Amino acid sequence: MQTSRARLRRPLLLAAGAGATVAALAAGTVTSAFAATVFSDTFSDGDAAGWSKSGGTWAVADGAFSQSSTASELARQFAGQTSWTDYQVQARVRPTGFGSSSALVGLAARASSSTKMYRLALLGSGRAELQAVNGSQITSLGSATVGAATGTWYTLRIEASGSTIRGYVNGTQIGGGSNSLVGAGRIGLVTAYAAGSFDDVSVDSSVSTPTTPPTSTPPGSATPTPTGTTPPPASWPTPTASVKVDATIPVSGTFDGGMRRYYGIGDGGQSESQDPMFELAAGATLRNVIIGAPAGDGVHCEGDCTLLNVWWEDVGEDAATFRGGTTYTVDGGGARSASDKVFQHNGPGTVHIRNFRVESSGKLYRACGNCSTSYQRHVVMDNVTATGTKVLAGINTNWGDTARFSRITILNDPNRSTRICVKYQGVPKGSEPKEIGAGADGVNCLYSASDITYR
């Protein structure tokens, strides 16, 4: 695959009053260690160089690429190479106006012409649909109701591998199947009788072979979403600089840390009253960050969030807490030295953990068992490597929680003492949850022996 010019967002400034001291700043483009990224554009430089227009009224403003006319029958912007074959393209997409229930705002892959492509569309009817588009002939490869509310950001991803095409909205697969309409082509941003904004577009040449989902899927759970074929890196990244932080850094949109180490909040202990290092607003993305010690209560996600290539050198209270929203994604990176847990899930919905490394920790994931509000919670783990970790997931079966596992590698555990899935009885706030079992059961803890590898 030929590489296009990558343009990553400049790191956001720290919040006023943060008192940050930057030891050094690294120059140049930062590439995630866990993915073969061949194209990236966040539009933070104020232009749309590299994109070619076909219809519509387009402009770059406020760090996004927007099409403003709901009267345009079909508006498109294309980028990349016509020779691209197997890849995944992802972007944040925000509908801002629908002219009708059939109007759409979406993402395209393998566009061999302006009218022939695979398209993942958010429709004015509130549904998302994965489509094979050949002029006026449109074949649906699956759909789901997602809301598609105007003013809301959605993360769309299309994976194309051979004749297999899959579409995801906020990390959950909404369609997919075998289709041979087009084997190669560019990426695209598309609207039809709708206005919308696009941001954080990336293309990754690493696409895995699809896995066969289980025959029975509990309500509210999600099918694992493999996105890489190699384990997480064996070595930890070297920081490009160190940043002393004295107050929580609020993040909306995307914060790219350029692989700097951020440290300085809290005392490194287990107190839950510590402030977080980063607080992510709904729809925010934190990427290319190394979190040192002390780091207070780590990262707080106040809504749907994405953590890309984030590393925790020494987890204090928690690495990240998922508090609001319905879909949270941890892709790449790693965490070590969590005496209790790495990821705490307090809100509803599903946490996706993939391409991740965990070392010397208590639990990688825990669904809160005694929060003030009891939700049904789910976790999907894929391509995770664990060393010296007691439990991968703790869930509350009385609330219908589920944990799914695929491509899990356990290192240096000859006695196989690492527990994959531990079940608890969730209780009201103020009480302590009781452990009631462990192991695969086909209902709440979902995995087979072939999903776990010991080395």
> Which one is predicted more confidently, 3 or 352?
352
Read off the CATH number of the domain in which 358 is found: 2.160.20.10
Let me know whether 393 and 447 are in one domain: yes
The pLDDT confidence band at residue 206, using thresholds 50, 70 and 90, is low
Let me know whether 178 and 322 are in one domain: no
The pLDDT confidence band at residue 244, using thresholds 50, 70 and 90, is very high
Helix H or strand E segment including 153: none
DSSP 231: P
> Which one is predicted more confidently, 55 or 226?
55
pLDDT tens for residues 350-366?
999 999 999 999 999 99
Give the per-residue pLDDT at 145. 86
Distance from the first to the final alpha carbon of the chain: 33
Let me know whether 356 and 437 are in one domain: yes
Residue 361, CB-side half-sphere exposure with 13 Å CA sphere: 30
pLDDT tens for residues 123-143?
998 899 999 999 989 999 998
Let me know whether 256 and 186 are in one domain: no
Asked if residue 23 has pLDDT above 60, the reply is no
Q: Is the peptide bond before 224 cis (omega within 30 degrees of 0)?
A: no
The pLDDT confidence band at residue 221, using thresholds 50, 70 and 90, is very low
How many domains does the chain fold into? 2
**Average of pLDDT values for 268-276?**
69
Asked if residue 271 has pLDDT above 90, the reply is no
Answer yes or no: is 235 within a domain. no
Let me know whether 189 and 247 are in one domain: no
Answer yes or no: is 221 within a domain. no
Cβ neighbours of residue 215 closer than 8 Å, sequence gap 6 or more: none
**Average of pLDDT values for 422-440?**
95
Asked if residue 12 has pLDDT above 60, the reply is no
Answer yes or no: is 368 within a domain. yes
Q: Are 326 and 275 in contact (CB under 8 A)?
A: no
Q: What percent of the chain has pLDDT over 70?
A: 84
Dump the DSSP string for 351-410: EEEEEEEEEEEEEEEEE-SS-SS---EEEEEEEEEEEEEEEEEEEEGGGT-EEEEEEEEE
Read off the CATH number of the domain in which 134 is found: 2.60.120.560
Cβ neighbours of residue 62 closer than 8 Å, sequence gap 6 or more: none
Instruction: State the amino acid at position 148 in one-letter form.
Output: A
DSSP 276: B
Answer yes or no: is 237 within a domain. no
Dump the DSSP string for 71-140: S-S-EEEEES-TT--SEEEEEEEEEEEESSTT-EEEEEEEEEETTEEEEEEEETTSEEEEEEEETTEEEE
Minimum mean pLDDT range among 226-230, 270-274, 378-382, 401-405: 226-230
* Tokens representing residue 18 in the block: 């943060």
Asked if residue 30 has pLDDT above 70, the reply is no
Give the per-residue pLDDT at 4. 43
Let me know whether 248 and 198 are in one domain: no
Asked if residue 92 has pLDDT above 60, the reply is yes
The pLDDT confidence band at residue 234, using thresholds 50, 70 and 90, is low
With CA atoms as reference, report the closest residue to 335 among 303, 301, 362, 302: 362
Range of the domain at 144: 36-204
State which of 182, 204, 226 marks the end of a domain. 204
Give the per-residue pLDDT at 209. 39
Judging by DSSP bridges, how do beta strands 419-425 and 434-438 pair with one another?
Answer: antiparallel
Answer yes or no: is 220 within a domain. no
State which of 157, 182, 204 marks the end of a domain. 204
Give the per-residue pLDDT at 146. 86
Answer yes or no: is 132 within a domain. yes
For 222, phi then psi, to 5°, come to -130, 150
Answer yes or no: is 161 within a domain. yes
**Average of pLDDT values for 248-274?**
84
Let me know whether 261 and 128 are in one domain: no
Let me know whether 159 and 277 are in one domain: no
Rounded Cα distance, 87 and 91, in Å: 14
Answer yes or no: is 337 within a domain. yes
Give the per-residue pLDDT at 325. 87
Let me know whether 377 and 320 are in one domain: yes
Asked if residue 27 has pLDDT above 50, the reply is no
State which of 204, 229, 263 marks the end of a domain. 204
Let me know whether 402 and 259 are in one domain: yes
Let me know whether 196 and 283 are in one domain: no
**Does this model's pTM top 0.85?**
no
**Average of pLDDT values for 396-418?**
95
Rounded Cα distance, 396 and 445, in Å: 10
Give the per-residue pLDDT at 329. 95
Give the per-residue pLDDT at 348. 93
Residue 427, CB-side half-sphere exposure with 13 Å CA sphere: 10
The per-residue pLDDT of the chain, averaged, comes to 85
Asked if residue 217 has pLDDT above 70, the reply is no
Let me know whether 184 and 276 are in one domain: no
